[in-house]
């Protein structure tokens, strides 16, 4: 449940916008049909388990690769154990985001970098719940990997005129280079 302290802090911030490309790595056997359904049930950095659909994206291929390395490391496995994968590319346009890449917003919420990168996501989940409750479309934040920026999209909060369109799926057999052509 969102903290009674977190919700007013977020409500006092002006929503940010984002327009551009974003990326996601995904197991080849999974079909992209219900965006955010997996995170709804198991939870993620910005949404607790059994809560709301959240689609996790990275703003660069490099950040998506870093997220995959973090996933493998946390599972105690090699990245190659997760290959092959698909790299999904989206065209995104959102108008109401909480921007935690803005140092002023982070300071106003009394957050520190360690909160945004902690292995325990409870503080981030509390922020996500409050942002979702306030009708925001998602959260822009530094990646927990320390590399790049991520975008957590609250799928059910998309506003008319928002865009979240899968534009390309590419085979990805290695993170050491560009995704495979094909």
Reply yes or no on whether the pLDDT at 161 is more than 80.
yes
Q: Does 182 fall in a domain?
A: no
pLDDT digits (tens, 9 = 90+) for 119-148: 899 999 999 999 999 999 999 999 999 999
Note the pLDDT of residue 162. Answer: 97
Confidence label for 34 from pLDDT (cuts 50, 70 and 90) = low
- Give this prediction's pTM: 0.89
Q: Does 105 fall in a domain?
A: yes
Q: Does 43 fall in a domain?
A: yes
Cα dihedral 64→100→30→35 (10° resolution): -140
Q: Does 180 fall in a domain?
A: no
Note the pLDDT of residue 182. Answer: 41
Domain around 83: 6-172
8 or 35, which is more confident: 8
Q: Does 177 fall in a domain?
A: no
d(CA 128, CA 77): 29
d(CA 109, CA 103): 10
d(CA 74, CA 59): 22
Place of tokens 């955010």: 36
Mean pLDDT along residues 45-49: 93
- Average of per-residue pLDDT values in the chain: 88
Q: Does 37 fall in a domain?
A: yes
Structurally, the chain folds into a number of domains equal to 1
Q: Does 157 fall in a domain?
A: yes
């Amino acid at each position: 449940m969102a903290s009674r302290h977190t919700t007013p802090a977020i409500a006092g911030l002006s929503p940010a916008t984002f327009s551009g490309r974003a990326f996601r790595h995904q197991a080849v056997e999974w079909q992209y049909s219900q965006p955010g359904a997996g995170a709804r049930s198991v939870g993620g950095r910005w949404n607790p388990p059994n809560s709301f659909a959240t689609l996790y994206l990275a703003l660069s291929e490099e950040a998506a690769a870093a997220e995959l390395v973090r996933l493998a490391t946390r599972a105690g496995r090699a990245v190659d154990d997760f290959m092959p994968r698909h790299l999904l590319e989206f065209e995104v346009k959102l108008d109401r985001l909480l921007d935690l890449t803005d140092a002023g917003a982070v300071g106003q919420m009394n957050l520190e970098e360690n909160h945004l990168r902690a292995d325990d996501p409870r503080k981030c989940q509390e922020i996500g719940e409050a942002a979702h409750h306030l009708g925001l479309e998602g959260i822009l934040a530094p990646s927990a990997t320390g590399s790049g920026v991520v975008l957590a999209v609250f799928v059910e909060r998309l506003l008319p005129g928002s865009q979240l369109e899968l534009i390309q799926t590419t085979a990805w057999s290695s993170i050491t280079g560009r995704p495979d052509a094909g």
